Amino acid sequence: MKEKIQDAIQQALDESPERNFVESLEISFTLRDVDLKNPANRIQEEVRLPSGRGKPVRIAMFAGGEMSTKAKAAGIEVIDPSQIEDIGGNRQQARKMANRYDFFLSEIPHMGTVGRFLGVVLGPRGKMPRPVPPNVDPGMIAAGLKDTAIVRSRDKVTFHTAMGSREQGIGDLTANGMAIWTRVVGKLERGAGNIRSCYVKTSMGPSIKVEVVL
């Protein structure tokens, strides 16, 4: 599969002209013969990309006091917990916040408040915050997330995730693509036999089909 994924990535790069911004590379899957109405069959994976995401990752944390200071020192943007209810009461503002960041963290005492007022926005996007215990440095958690791709099907047979950026080399992108492919296939009962199709594309480029090898 490595050669098939590499060929598709190279074609996707070749067929998409350079833009005035750094495009992401995405990989998408369409499943077959999988009952995704059963939550146990859904894909919900965090894949550590061996070559990293290739673009800066935006992380925010709901924190105050000393934890807020630690988060800021680690380059994490801090959202004051006192603002959670107000943000949740403005659906447009809540959506903008959800789209602005790739990941969220939160001090444990604020998790319930986030769920109550922002869960309806963050939940469907797979962006509910990760809890940070009092004795854990949020910078350590953030460092791990900077190389992480979230692969999430929910109840849809077609789903996608970013696997890197155009600035990375073909070798790095292929390694990332293989890491995601291997994890997804490993979660399926029939492995690649449950993959109807797989495509790769740049953010604004054409979709290139990956020949699935059973």
Per-residue pLDDT band for 48 (boundaries 50, 70, 90) equals very high
Query: Environment class of residue 72 by beta-carbon count within 10 Å: exposed (0-12), middle (13-18) or buried (19+)?
Result: middle
What are the pLDDT digits (tens) for 83-93? Answer: 999 999 999 99
For residue 149, the model assigns a pLDDT of 93
Which residues lie below 8 Å from residue 196, measured CB to CB, with a gap of 6+? 30, 31, 32, 157
Q: pTM value? A: 0.84
214 pLDDT higher than 80: no
Average pLDDT over residues 98-122: 96
CATH no. for 59-145: 3.40.50.790
Q: What's the CA gap between 132 and 184, in Å, rounded? A: 27
Per-residue pLDDT band for 18 (boundaries 50, 70, 90) equals confident
Q: How many CB atoms lie within 10 A of CB 30?
A: 14
Listed by start position, the domains of the chain span 2-54+149-209, 59-145
Task: Look at residue 78 and give its three-state secondary structure.
Answer: strand
Q: What's the CA gap between 214 and 191, in Å, rounded? A: 8
For residue 99, the model assigns a pLDDT of 94
CATH no. for 2-54+149-209: 3.30.190.20
187 pLDDT higher than 80: yes
Q: How many angstroms separate the most distant Cα atoms in the chain?
A: 54
For residue 116, the model assigns a pLDDT of 96
Per-residue pLDDT band for 20 (boundaries 50, 70, 90) equals confident
